Chain A
Amino acid sequence: MTAAVVRRLLQAVMVMFAMTVIVFIAINVIGDPVDILISPDADQIERARVVQALGLDLPLWQQYLRFLWAALHGDLGESYVYNEPAIRVILQRLPATLELAISAILIAIVVGVPLGLYAGLRPDGILSRVIMTVSILGFSLPTFWVGLVLIMFFGVQLGWLPSGGRGQTAELFGVQWAFLTKDGLAHLILPAVNLALFDACLILRLTRAGVAEVLPLDFIKFARAKGLRETRVIGVHVSKNIMIPVVTIIGLEFGSIVAFSVVTESVFSWPGMGKLIIDSINVLDRPIITAYLMAIVAFFVMINLVVDLTYTALDPRVRLQGEGP
């Protein structure tokens, strides 16, 4: 077990290293930050001074080595815009994105799993058909459009919920969180629902497919032949067997939500990492972009590790490589 985890961590380091190369090259292709950083009326000397200060006059490979060396020491560069270490800027925005993502995935699970179970158990029911049809809509509609509709309806027409910003925050573990205050919670609802919609439908359909697959199997029939109550047959025997694909998707989607909440954060002007990265790309704030991408990769690798570990807990037949039979 430990050996397998160590191996995964080594793999993770390799992935991170490969990522630095790709990010560094890609970011040089996007454009030259000097054009944006320096006012057009600055003179040649001023311009050369800035270029040299940022190390942009060096050949690309030297720039890369300098970056890598610094990165190994936990320094991902200083933001051109905020004049602060990039990693700190990102970490400041992380809680906002994290609480949005966690809320969204929780909503998706709480809505998706029970509805999927219901639709799987009564595949011919009218309500099941309605659920399945609506779920197709749910992951076909573009997120930004749904976000706008939510704002129009609940924010503007009904006026029930605020539609922009993060509202009031409160401190917990030295970090500001919106979900701790009533106002913050109200601000959280619409973007979280917006972000959850796609995944709720995905989880719902996955759960339903799993139920349809497991229900006709002999061990379910045998569970019933033992005289078990239906609640136990569904709640334990069926559920535990369909959890593997659901956990996989929850893991992957959680990563995606954190990484690509860009759209929702922009629509609801939620001050998270997604909004930060868009702003940073617009002004070519290289250290922020790099640090953001690195952080996301680290995050994905971590989630995958957790998902793998969860498998072994869910299905005894799954054993991590390196553990032996």
Chain B
Amino acid sequence: MNATVLEVRDLRTHFGQAKAVDGVSFSVARGDVLGLVGESGSGKSVTGFSIIGLVDPPGTIVGGQIVFDGRDITRSSREEMRALRGRRMAMIFQDPMMTLNPVLRIDTQMIEAVQAHENVSRMDARARARDALGMVGIPSPDERLQAYPHQFSGGMRQRVVIAIALLHRPDFIIADEPTTALDVTIQAQILAEMQKLVAQNNTSLIWITHDLAVVSRLADRIAVMYAGRIVESGPVSDVLARPLHPYTAGLIDSVPSRNRRGERLRQIPGMAPSVARLPAGCAFAPRCARADAVCAQAVPLLTAGPREHRCVHPLPELRA
């Protein structure tokens, strides 16, 4: 096992009454890929923004620790966080059409990213930018540096964004559904590219997604989030093959390709609860077939070998 790069301990990020993230813990080893999976509103993006210190107001981190480089960065000053962002940690967003500033040229946006952290000349910064574009597979990078974002396709834009994220070879990158907005063919290219690049740079990756297929291809470990908590985590092959938490099982069953032809598509009954009014016990209990009176009490984190889960009635290890 490699050294831990990032450890999140009992993170709580609340938006007033809404407990968007409520006691999330996980750690990422150097060079590892963690898939953070969940439905919309499960708190996975907020977790990502909490780590890089860019939670939108009124959201605030009300508890827990984010340990990076041996210190709790939730206590870092704004300037300390700024110095970390982009240099030691990076984030990639969902929509490449919206991530780059439409009125600034690519070179401007890349050079400023270099110069934000290193005292280098414009020429040197530009050379770095050009190399980074070449690295992510953008043809004739010298020319493309002069272009504006609207002159790129969606896939190319996401490559530019990835190049910016990799400029300073960060310790880890948080990727918030970076392929969701792209065509499937482009999606596969970007995934492969990303996998190659993080392996080359020994960068850890936290891949936030709702797409289990992507996670199964890319991730080493998976953490499943539901209503602001991680309900299950473990090595990706184990969790996907033998889910312990009924929610994970429901999520896996909801993937259309797993349903038989002619059968009704399976879904999890009910709706995800509002994070403003969470039940005291297991948040999934109202939708769960296995729930009983015990589930109304707070569920501690249970461990089973390399795996962790929050369910008092875990599914049997072997499933057809």
Contacts and interface: CB of A to CB of B under 8 A. Distances in A.
A219 B102 contact: yes
A216 B105 CA distance: 21
A218 interface: yes
Interface residues of B, number: 30
Interface in A171-220: 216-219
A103 to B, nearest CB: 30
Contact of A227 (B87, B99, B148): B87
Contacts of B105: 316
B93 A241 contact: no
A229 B104 contact: no
A241 B102 contact: yes
Contacts of B86: 225-228
Given A236-B104, A316-B148, A317-B148, A221 B83 contact: no
A227 B161 contact: no
A315 interface: yes
A317 B113 CA distance: 23
Contact of A240 (B56, B83, B104): B104
A224 interface: yes
Interface in B60-119: 82-87, 90-91, 93-95, 98-105, 112-113, 116-117
Contacts of A225: 52, 54, 85-86, 90-91
Nearest to B49: A221
A240 B104 CA distance: 8
Contacts of A317: 102-103, 148, 150
A241 B54 contact: no
B98 A218 contact: yes
A222 interface: yes
Residue among B103, B113, B117 with most chain A CB within 10 A:
B103
B145 interface: no
Residue among A223, A232, A240, A241 with most chain B CB within 10 A:
A223
A240 B90 CA distance: 24
B164 interface: yes
Nearest to B98: A218
B181 to A, nearest CB: 11
A316 B106 CA distance: 12
A314 interface: yes
B85 A219 contact: no
A228 B84 CA distance: 11
Given A222-B93, A227-B85, A240 B116 contact: no
Contacts of B52: 225
7 pairs of A and B residues whose beta carbons are closest in the complex: A227-B86, A218-B98, A227-B85, A316-B148, A226-B86, A226-B113, A225-B91
